[in-house]
Structure 1
Amino acid sequence: MYNLNSFTIMLRTIHRYVGRSRTYNFRTARNLSSTLNYDIEKYDVTIVGGGIVGLATARELLLRNPDLKLCLLEKEHQLSIHQTGHNSGVIHAGIYYKPGTLKAKLCVEGLKMLYDFCDEHRVPYKKCGKLIVATEAEEIPRLDNLYARALENGCTVSIVEGKDIQTFEPHCRGLKAIHSPNTGIVDYALVARTYGKEFEKKGGTIKLAYQVEDFKQSSDADYPVAIIGNHDYQQVHSRYVITCGGLYSDRLATISGCDSIPKIVPFRGEYLVLKPEMSHLARGNIYPVPNPALPFLGFHFTPRMNGDVWLGPNALLAFKREGYNFFDFDVKDSYEAATFRGLRKLVMKHIGAGLGELSRAASMRLQVKKLQRFIPELRVEDVQRGPAGVRAQALDTDGNLVDDFIFDSGSGQLSQRMLHVRNAPSPAATSSLAIAKMVVDESKRRFLL
């Protein structure tokens, strides 16, 4: 009797000897597999997506249901290398979000849960704090409104007058600020991998390099969902499936009959980095007062766990869903974005801001000018180009940013077996443990687990 691992080893051995032959491919392997008796692995629940939300969900599901046989599938050879691995690392306090919304509730709850998890599992973090700084008189009413919102959300915050700002940030200047002592920084990729280690330690299975291509009805009534990978030998059967696909959440959802809207549009955020000898310019996070007319928070100073200080990010349309470099391009991703009415409407709403982002992307001097509002002594010579991340932004057909969580199941035979997390907006990393509780609650309601 062959199990799947031994069968895979056999295929690789065959490939080693006949791989140079143009007539051998994985279609041959599929035909060969049909003549052999090997076991297809079967699970009670399979989670698709090895980012921080998928891993937190897998962990939470197993903690509540230790007798279930669970599997997590990740398309890359490592966990959490995309949105999670390119995250700025900020542990948000919940200041920005409209009171009463899920984003506000989950962020405040998730902050505490994350710090407790890091303490328990010895994941290093720093509570370096955060200042949201008004540098112009017209920003002060917005800052005051933000302070009232933060208090309503249950955040620990205080008002700092201009003369006292340098008590927290000696190089920063401003008229007034909000101080958030509980804002911190952490390596979210390490957090996510720690979720994964706990999941495996408690009996869960993680399969890497498993890119899900399709969901089909299997012939096994007890495990009716066949999850097909992009290699012919990759197939597992499951009673239920939860997808947490991040940048590909819309595509995974449409496989099982969900509507294509909201659509994921990728936005790349590029950072500058303070040169090491200038990292003393910022002790903690320094943020502008957000402009409510714009969809992003603006340029800010973000310290990192390794001692770096990131500056930015900008927000540019990416021409590839995993396009971390300026010239990365994918035909399918670009065509989908260009032909999507919602993106065209978004661009027209914010065309002035978009042109400004393009200008700053081409000029470090223009980016530094934005940051000098807070730290006047910052110079172009003090910075260098840094990394970039890609944000999975969900859009509707009217060009509105979808700002809340969306669950979907699709239609057809498999719909009662599927749960798609179609949108887990920022601050999803901070809120990951609280989001996981919500996802597992929803799966319990739908699947009667």
Structure 2
Amino acid sequence: MYDFTIIGGGIVGLSTAMALGQKYPDKKILLLEKEASWAAHQTGNNSGVIHSGIYYKPGSYKAKFCREGNNALVEFCQQHNINYEICGKVIVATEQEELPRLENIYKRGVANNIDISMLSKEEAKEVEPHVNSLAAILVKSTGIVDYKQVAEKYAELAIKQGADLFNNCRVTDIKETSEGYVLITNKEEYQTRFLINCAGLFSDRVAQLVGVKPPAKIVPFRGEYYELTPEKRYLASNTLIYPVPNPNFPFLGVHFTKMIDGSVHAGPNAVLSFKREGYYKTDFNLKDFLDTMTYPGFWKLSVKHGVDGIQEMARSWSKSLFVASLQRLIPEVSAKDVVPTHAGVRAQALGNNGKLVDDFLIIDRPQAMHVCNAPSPAATSSIAIGKAIANRVTV
């Protein structure tokens, strides 16, 4: 009998295992991951950004956890000799109509106690010589790291604390008992007093196994990237370069991201994935597809953002359209300067009303907790989220 069992070996699940081990050193902790490696999906395919928290509503989980998580993650990397860089980022306005929105982002950053400064066109050029802007915000605390390496260190520390972490172990059913839960897997059955669902792209389905109906369904969006060829990396070599977000579209828009290995990724566009772990355009899963297509919330979202969605799909299939969007930020970029690179899939919780869940969604139940929405900045926030879960569980 385990005291705590976590489903999901992504960065949030592993951080939770580590935090529980620190808070409850005498308790038996189990983590089950269906893949052969840790951080195989969202964590291992994200952009590696250490976010500042500038965009998020003051007082929200995202704002609180991201700000705390940023500091904790940097300290963790320093303590465990994990390579990272606090390079900063610039959010640039390229059109007059974006200037008021840039000002609103600045005010939100100030409200969230983020270290930022407003830059003129000339000052932005001093930071990023090739960027096109009318004005910009410099966000000093943004950085980059390899989150798969971070997650693997979380796993190592959790194991050292005494937790059992098992790979290749898929949960197929869950039975509630008077003492807690029995988890049925492809290997054996495990008993636990407390269940923590950190299953990411499948978090809603895991919740449903124990009769919990989340107020939102996971709808997968694939983020497709290009990367600058090595000889063109100098075009975005100092910071991360982001546009002013379109308030009518729920994603940040294509941007340039330095990676910790020295490469520079450009993207993502955001297109509906026909498979929850669908990293390629041709990936298809009938259950996942029908799950989305029969969900009223998806069609309400489509009506509201249909034009934007069509533009994203067109850019997915047209390199010239993708490059044109990049040229808004760096006009010198041409089609020959970028090559395709890996994609990621975002587990986005979508409400029945057609609105994307804007904050982390954590559902408490007797002897269980379900993390049903933890998209970006969950990796940045992972230490803070893990500690918060450890503080909320009932022993």
Q: Quote the offset at 1:408 in angstroms.
A: 2.7
Which secondary structure state, in structure 2, belongs to the residue aligned with residue 419 of structure 1? strand
- Aligned to 1:358, which of 313, 329, 332? 313
How do 1:384-395 residues align onto structure 2 when only pairs under 5 Å count? 384-395=339-350
SS in 2 for 1:45: strand
In 1, Cα distance between equivalents of 2:363 and 2:125 = 48
* Shift, 1:260, TM fit: 4.8
Post-superposition shift, 1:407?
A: 2.7
Distance in 2 of aligned mates of 1:204 and 1:378? 49
The partner residue of 1:226 within 179, 182, 196 is 182
Aligned to 1:267: 221
Counterpart Cα distance in 2 of 1:316 and 1:405: 21
* AA matched with 2:148: A
Counterpart residue type for residue 231 of structure 2: E
Distance 1:288 1:352 in 2: 19
Instruction: State the alpha-carbon separation in 2 of the partners of residues 94 and 261 from structure 1.
Output: 25
- The answer to whether the 8 Å contact 1:258/1:408 transfers is no
Count of residue pairs brought into register by the alignment: 394
Is 2:273 aligned against 1:323?
no
Question: Counterparts of 2:78 and 2:279 in 1: how far apart (Å)?
Answer: 32
Greater relative contact order (Cα < 8 A, sep 6+): 2
Structure 2 counterpart of 1:434? 384
Report 1:128-139 matches (<5 A): 128-139=87-98
1:121 matched residue in structure 2: 80
Give, as a single letter, the amino acid of the residue that structure 2 aligns with 1:185: I
The answer as to whether partners of 1:275 and 1:382 remain within 8 angstroms in 2 is: yes
Q: Find 1:369's aligned residue among 303, 313, 324.
A: 324
Residue of 146, 162, 174 corresponding to 1:203 = 162
TM-score normalised by length of structure 1: 0.86
Structure with the higher fraction of residues in strand conformation: 2
- Is 2:207 the counterpart of 1:253? yes
1:39: which partner in 2? none
Q: Please report how far the alpha carbon of residue 417 of structure 1 lies from its aligned counterpart in structure 2 after TM superposition.
A: 2.1
Q: What displacement does 1:376 show?
A: 1.1
> CA separation in 1, counterparts of 2:274 and 2:305?
18
Q: In structure 1, what is the equivalent of residue 145 of structure 2?
A: 186
Q: Which residue of 2 aligns with 1:84?
A: 43
Task: Encode CA deviations 1:19-48: one digit per residue, 9 max, x unaligned.
Answer: xxxxxxxxxxxxxxxxxxxxxxx3111111
Report the AA paired with residue 298 of structure 1.
G
Distance in 2, matches of 1:425 and 1:293, equals 19
Q: CA RMSD in A?
A: 1.2
- Give ranges in structure 1 of 5+ residues lacking alignment: 1-41, 410-414
Aligned residue number for residue 176 of structure 1: 135
Mapped partners of 1:224, 1:181: distance in 2 = 46
Q: Is 1:142 paired with 2:97?
A: no
- The answer on whether the counterparts of 1:107 and 1:427 sit within 8 Å (CA) in structure 2 is yes
What's the CA shift for 1:416? 2.2
Q: Which runs of 5+ in 2 are unaligned?
A: none
Distance 1:289 1:205, change over 3 A: same
Q: Partner of 2:231 in structure 1?
A: 277
The residue identity in structure 1 corresponding to 2:352 is T
Q: 2: CA distance between counterparts of 1:94 and 1:417?
A: 31
Where 2:22 maps in the other structure, the secondary structure is helix
| 2:54–2:108 CA contact under 8 A, matched in 1 | yes
- Displacement, 1:406? 2.4
Residue 289 of structure 2 is aligned to residue 338 of structure 1: no
Cα deviation for residue 113 of structure 1 reads: 0.5
> Could you tell me how far apart the structure 1 residues matched to 2:82 and 2:64 are?
24
Tell me by how many angstroms 1:405 deviates: 2.6
CA distances 1:298-320 after superposition (whole Å, capped 9, x unpaired): 01000111111110100100000
**Structure-2 separation of matches of 1:98 and 1:69:** 37
Residues 55-102 of structure 1 deviation map (CA, whole Å, 9 limit, x = unaligned): 011100110111111111000010111000001101110110111212
CA contact (8 A) 1:251 1:260 kept: no
Counterpart selection for 1:237 from 167, 191, 199: 191
Structure 1 position 257, deviation (Å): 0.7
Alignment of 1:393-404 (within 5 A): 393-404=348-359
Q: Structure 1 residues 144 and 260, CA, compared in 2 at 3 Å: closer, same or farther? A: closer
Q: Deviations over 1:410-435 (max 9, x none)?
A: xxxxx522211111232111111111
Tell me the SS of whatever aligns to 2:366.
helix
CA distance, structure 2, for counterparts of residue 344 and residue 275 of structure 1: 39
Q: Distance in 2 between matches of 1:201 and 1:277?
A: 43
Q: What are the superposed Cα offsets for residues 8-28 of structure 1, whole Å, 9 maximum, x if unpaired?
A: xxxxxxxxxxxxxxxxxxxxx
* CA pair 135-207 structure 1, distance change in 2 beyond 3 A: same
Alpha-carbon distance in 2 for matches of 1:121, 1:157: 28
Deviation at 1:155, TM superposition (A): 0.2
Cα separation, 2, equivalents of 1:406 and 1:360: 31
1: CA distance, partners of 2:192 / 2:315: 48
CA contact (8 A) 1:132 1:288 kept: yes
CA offset digits 1:367-426 (Å, max 9, x no partner): 1111112211111110111110000010111110011232335xxxxx522211111232
Query: Partners in 2 of 1:69 and 1:289 — Cα distance?
Result: 47
Whether the aligned pair in 2 keeps the contact of 1:92 and 1:184 (CA below 8 Å) is yes
Which residue number corresponds to residue 425 of structure 1? 375
Percent identity over paired residues: 49
**Does structure 2 retain, via aligned residues, the 8 Å contact 1:250–1:261?**
no
The answer to whether the 8 Å contact 2:214/2:372 transfers is: no
Flag the structure with larger Rg: 1
Q: Deviations over 1:129-177 (max 9, x none)?
A: 1000011111111111111110110100001100111211111121100
Q: Does the 8 A contact of 1:403 with 1:425 survive in 2?
A: no
Residues 176 and 210 in structure 2, CA contact (< 8 A), matched pair in contact too: no
Give the 3-state SS of the residue equivalent to 2:332 in structure 1. Answer: coil
The one of 263, 266, 269 aligned to 1:311: 266
Q: Which residue of 2 aligns with 1:287?
A: 242
